[in-house]
Amino acid sequence: MTKLLIDDAGWLQSTEVIRSPNFDARPDNTQIKLIVVHGISLPPGEYGGGHIQEFFCNNLDAGAHSYFESICELTVSAHCLIERSGNVIQFVSFLDRAWHAGASEWCGETACNDFSVGIELEGSDDQAYAEPQYRGLANLVAALRSRYPAIDAEAIAGHCDIAPARKTDPGPAFDWARLNRLLVG
């Protein structure tokens, strides 16, 4: 797989970009030191409709599905989405703060959005993620660690790990051992 490169402005090179308005500046002097893995599908359990992209850009049509009514007013984002095909889309520069984690805590520090990169996998808690997504994620994690060395080998967590009372994603279907094998190999 082609090595991913991240430019000085915090954008992946040769990668699809859809800019989300849902971001702001990280606090001054914040080091990027954590990767948060999420799972999302819209509507839940359905893939490929383009609704995640619409959601992150505040363009979700509330009338298109009953579930959308309950979420269409939210302003959220992630830095990247990895589709079932393994295709990566970037929404927010890594230098900026995407709005993916909410109230959260990692290693005693709260507000994980401040210092993390949020990566959404298109998926569901209880359905196997696709092989190309693991390869795409491993590739992306390698690029992020190389560009932002404060992200050490332990600094990757599920949304469920940093907000356990509220969140279950990426869920039991996400195979951490498989990701780790790809990262080592």
Q: How far is the CB of 37 from Zn ion (least distance, A)?
A: 8
Q: How far is the CB of 8 from Zn ion (least distance, A)?
A: 28
Phi, psi of 71 (to 5 degrees): -120, -10
Binding mask 30-69 for Zn ion (x = CB under 5 A): --------x-------------------------------
Stretch touching Zn ion by CB under 5 A, among 4-12, 57-65, 163-171, 176-184: 163-171
Give catalytic status of residue 120 as yes or no. Answer: yes
159 near Zn ion, judged by CB under 5 A: yes
Q: How many residues bind Zn ion (CB under 5 A)?
A: 3
CB 121 within 8 A of CB 137: yes
Which residues are CB-neighbours of 142 under 8 A, at least 6 positions away? 3, 4, 183
Candidate list 46, 69, 83, 120, residue with the active-site label = 120
Stretch touching Zn ion by CB under 5 A, among 8-16, 25-33, 162-170, 174-182: 162-170
Q: How far is the CB of 159 from Zn ion (least distance, A)?
A: 3
CB 139 within 8 A of CB 1: yes
Instruction: Compute the distance between CA of residue 140 and CA of residue 15 in angstroms, rounded to an integer.
Output: 11
Instruction: Compute the distance between CA of residue 185 and CA of residue 143 in angstroms, rounded to an integer.
Output: 15
Instruction: Compute the distance between CA of residue 107 and CA of residue 38 in angstroms, rounded to an integer.
Output: 18
CB nearer Zn ion, residue 91 or residue 149: 91
Instruction: Compute the distance between CA of residue 126 and CA of residue 144 in angstroms, rounded to an integer.
Output: 27
User: Where do contacts with Zn ion occur on this chain (CB under 5 A)?
Assistant: 38, 159, 169
Active site amino acids: 120
